[in-house]
Amino acid sequence: MKQITEPPEHAPRRRWLGVLARASRAELEAAKGLIEQRLGPVDMPRFLRRPEIGMAMVRGRAGGDGAAFNLGEMTVTRCTLQFSDGRLGCAYLAGRRLEESVLVALIDGLLQDRRHGAALADDVIEPLAEALAARRNQRLAKSQPTKVEFFTMVRGDGRP
Q: Output the pLDDT for position 2.
A: 56
Give the integer Cα–Cα distance in Å for 45 and 113.
13
* Residue stretches of the chain with pLDDT short of 50: 1
Which residues have a Cβ under 8 Å from the Cβ of 56 and sit 6 or more positions away?
Answer: 73, 74, 75, 76
Question: Domain locations in the chain?
Answer: 8-146
- H or E, element range at 49: strand 46-62
Whose CA is closest to 70, among 81, 61, 78, 59? 59
Give the integer Cα–Cα distance in Å for 142 and 129.
20
Q: Output the pLDDT for position 42.
A: 87
| pTM score, whole prediction | 0.82
Q: Output the pLDDT for position 114.
A: 87
